Structure 1
Amino acid sequence: MKEKNMACKLNAGDLFPKITVPKLGGGNLTLGIPQNGHSCQMIVVYRGKHCPICTRYLSELNDILPDLSKLGIDVVAVSADPSTKAREQISEAQSNYNVGYDLSIEQMKTLGLYISNPRSPEETDRPFAEPGLFFINSDLKLQIVDISNAPFVRPNLASLIMGLGYILTPENKYPIRGTYSSS
């Protein structure tokens, strides 16, 4: 019998859990805490160096970094890869945002991510998180959550920029969606 992934589901509107991982270039990176004078943070969880789709997505994310910065959004990416693999992939993607590495299985579960085992030692040498994207608003609450169990399903970045621009325009008064409770 296979072990069940006992990840919890993060609820829209909840405070984002503070997770600290090592940061490429030294020091630590605390997910959910915007940096560089930004008021919000977008966290992109990627599968790792073994995933060419991730490399392309990370590169595309870098292309829209100026637009996100204009909206006051700090961008970080994180994976379970060790520093060597993370550094190689980020170099290939030519990314200019903060990158965390060594995301643990417990941290993946805290984020509610799907976790996969490698298909072979050639793919990678450890369990890894499937893609996830989290947008934390200026109140440090989870405004948008998108998780997938496959590398092929990720938010379209052009649509995401448009939506974030709408959400962050004060006169739109856009609420956090998906908070319905029957109790």
Structure 2
Amino acid sequence: MTDCYKLNVQAFVQEISLKQSYTEKSTFFHHSGLSCSQIDYILDNPTSSIISSYKTHNRCPSNYSSHVPVSAKIEVNAKVKQSLVKPNSARQFKFQWKDLDSESFNSFINEELSQYNIEKHSLEENIQFLYNCLKKAAAVAVTSKIIKLKGPKFKASPTTLSLLQICKEKYQLWKSNGKHDGHFKSDKILA
């Protein structure tokens, strides 16, 4: 870590009164097994008490790292707007993150953050703002594709529906018998 970066982090920690949550458990184990210490931790402001639980995990054989994970649970209440969706035109989209335009994504977020004053709002409002900001940035910079399109139901006469059902049954019978040319295939064609 460079000295300039270290000073900036230390100044930030002091400015907002962050404290280290201590536990008796070690988080780093030297590869020789002769020494261990607690060097992994999460910083928290004790006056705001954002963290509801803090956990230093146990060592496990599948973790080849010399460090054990440290986790914290943060409880936040956020209001989610529900938009009205017409039942016959509901679509679901999936973001294609591999096609992310990172330059426009970052510039959109930086522009939004520059116009927003964090100190004037509560923690919940700030989290809601960040959520909305990320959502808008994704809509601008990430392409999406439709994964589910819900349209009107297929309408057919009762006769057509019964013939379609017979055709499905004949196809399943043909498929279960290995789909070779024979009387099952001709039955399906006749159906």
Q: Classify the TM-score, shorter chain.
A: under 0.3
Max Rg structure = 2
Higher relative helix content? 2
Instruction: State the TM-score, normalizing by the size of structure 1.
Output: 0.23
